[in-house]
């Protein structure tokens, strides 16, 4: 059974709309992350949270907003979607000083 659950697995959106990508981890990890993988770029770090606090934000656009309602949740809200936002978004988690374990990703297509 997957320990990091991402929903939905596939998502199609129209330009200008807003979507929320869901991530829950059942590993007891204190740190959670979002990464993005697109055709044009390698795996790219977006955000990191530790104990529900934002640790780092490498995403230039404010259209991307992480939301942590519980310590094992880290959702990603994306507003005003653009075709360039089309990518696979991976949620990951780790204990302190360990390599992140990745979820299976949400594949977002913006038309």
Partner 1 sequence: GDSVTQTEGLVTVTEGLPVKLNCTYQTTYLTIAFFWYVQYLNEAPQVLLKSSTDNKRTEHQGFHATLHKSSSSFHLQKSSAQLSDSALYYCALSDRTGANTGKLTFGHGTILRVHP
User: Which chain residues interact with partner 1 by CB under 8 A?
Assistant: 31, 33, 35, 42-45, 48, 50, 55-56, 58, 90, 92-94, 96-105
Beta-carbon contacts of 38 under 8 Å, excluding residues fewer than 6 positions away, are 44, 86, 87, 88
Least Å distance between CB 45 and partner 1?
5
Q: Are strands 75-78 and 64-67 parallel, antiparallel or unpaired?
A: antiparallel
What is the CA 10 to chain-centroid distance, rounded?
13
CB 47 within 8 A of CB 58: yes
Least Å distance between CB 48 and partner 1?
5
CB 61 within 8 A of CB 76: no
Least Å distance between CB 19 and partner 1?
20
DSSP state of 73: B
Q: Which is nearer to partner 1, 24 or 81 (CB)?
A: 24
Q: Which is nearer to partner 1, 74 or 78 (CB)?
A: 74
Q: Which is nearer to partner 1, 45 or 63 (CB)?
A: 45
CA distance 73 to 39: 27
Q: Which is nearer to partner 1, 2 or 16 (CB)?
A: 2
Least Å distance between CB 85 and partner 1?
19
């Amino acid at each position: 059974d997957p320990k990091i659950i991402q929903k939905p697995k596939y998502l199609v959106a129209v330009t200008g709309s807003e979507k929320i990508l869901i991530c829950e981890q059942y590993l007891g990890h204190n740190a959670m992350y979002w990464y993005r993988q697109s055709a044009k770029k390698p795996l790219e770090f977006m955000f990191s949270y530790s104990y529900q606090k934002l640790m780092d934000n490498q995403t230039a656009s404010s259209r991307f907003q992480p939301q942590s309602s519980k310590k094992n949740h880290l959702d990603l809200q994306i507003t005003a979607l653009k075709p360039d936002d089309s990518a696979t978004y991976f949620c990951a988690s780790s204990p302190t000083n360990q390599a992140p374990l990745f979820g299976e990703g949400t594949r977002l297509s913006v038309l």
